[in-house]
């Protein structure tokens, strides 16, 4: 990895993962980080959107999935260059979930991995891209979709998967990808879907 973990990054991770713990969060955070749950909710949202807005909604959801896919691919490229070790594989005392159960690294835990996939967070990039594109495609949603990447970002630190800077980098990646996808969509719309003259 070509950068060191800053003290503020480590200290915030320790607060969220090791000190600010609640039984309620122990139940909720794995659900917030579950991609199958997110995809199932998107499937339900798609069915509802089609019933209310017609088949054009399918195009909008394809844009969402394109944004998420591109965000995920972008983070993979960065991860392959950075190789940051995930906190659960680097820091003693880290709480994490494995096989559906909470575990805790012992105080004498020593890092053995030399390469990892912590930076940036793909979950955060995916959900930020999803949230921003949702705001642009359905302005009536107002700012509500932004709660998704915020909640997912917190969950990734709580679960010991990422440092806060991994989350920030994921969000930034999601913002950039959403902007690119939106500009491409507007250009395609301008060229191939002229406005209805009526």
Report, in this order, helix, strand and coil percent for the chain, each rounded to 5: 70, 5, 30
- pLDDT value at position 165? 98
Q: What is the mean pLDDT of the chain?
A: 94
Report the 10 Å Cβ neighbour count for 64.
Answer: 20
pTM: 0.93
Q: Identify the three-state secondary structure at position 54.
A: coil
Q: Identify the three-state secondary structure at position 95.
A: strand
Q: Which long-range contacts (CB under 8 A, 24 or more apart) does 141-144 make?
A: none
- 20-24, 48-52, 134-138, 162-166: the lowest-pLDDT one: 48-52
- pLDDT value at position 56? 85
pLDDT at residue 187 above 60?
A: yes
Give every CB contact of residue 115 below 8 A, 6+ residues apart in sequence: 83, 85
Q: Rounded to whole angstroms, how far apart are CA atoms 146 and 127?
A: 9
- 50-59, 149-158, 165-174, 187-196: the lowest-pLDDT one: 187-196
pLDDT at residue 198 above 50?
A: no
Give every CB contact of residue 111 below 8 A, 6+ residues apart in sequence: 85, 89, 90
Q: Rounded to whole angstroms, how far apart are CA atoms 135 and 141?
A: 6
Q: Rounded to whole angstroms, how far apart are CA atoms 93 and 106?
A: 6
What residue ranges define each of the domains in the chain, with the CATH number in brackets?
A: 7-190 (1.20.144)
* DSSP tag of 17: I
Residue 195 — very low, low, confident or very high, per pLDDT cuts 50/70/90? low
Percent of residues, the chain, with pLDDT higher than 90: 88
What residues are paired with 103 via a beta bridge?
96
pLDDT at residue 108 above 80?
A: yes
Say which residue the tokens 């069915």 belong to: 47
- pLDDT value at position 24? 97
Give yes or no for a contact between 118 and 85, defined as CB atoms under 8 angstroms apart: yes
Q: pLDDT digit string (tens) for 47-90?
A: 999 998 888 899 999 999 999 999 999 999 999 999 999 999 99
Q: Rounded to whole angstroms, how far apart are CA atoms 12 and 164?
A: 7
């Amino acid at each position: 990895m070509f950068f060191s973990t800053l003290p503020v990054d480590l200290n915030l991770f320790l607060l969220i993962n090791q000190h600010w713990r609640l039984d309620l969060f122990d139940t909720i955070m794995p659900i917030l980080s579950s991609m199958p749950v997110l995809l199932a909710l998107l499937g339900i949202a798609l069915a509802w959107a089609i019933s209310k807005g017609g088949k054009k909604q399918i195009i909008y959801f394809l844009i969402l999935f394109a944004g998420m896919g591109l965000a995920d691919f972008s983070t993979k490229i960065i991860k392959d260059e950075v190789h940051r070790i995930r906190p659960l594989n680097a820091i003693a005392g880290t709480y994490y979930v494995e096989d559906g159960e909470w575990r805790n690294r012992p105080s004498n835990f020593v890092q053995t991995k030399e390469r990892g996939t912590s930076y940036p967070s793909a979950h955060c990039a995916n959900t930020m891209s999803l949230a921003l594109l949702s705001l642009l495609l359905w302005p009536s949603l107002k700012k509500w979709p932004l709660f998704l990447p915020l909640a997912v970002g917190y969950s990734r630190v709580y679960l010991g998967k990422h440092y806060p800077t991994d989350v920030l980098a994921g969000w930034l990646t999601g913002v950039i990808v959403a902007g690119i996808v939106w500009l491409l969509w507007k250009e395609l719309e301008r060229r191939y879907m002229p406005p209805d003259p009526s």
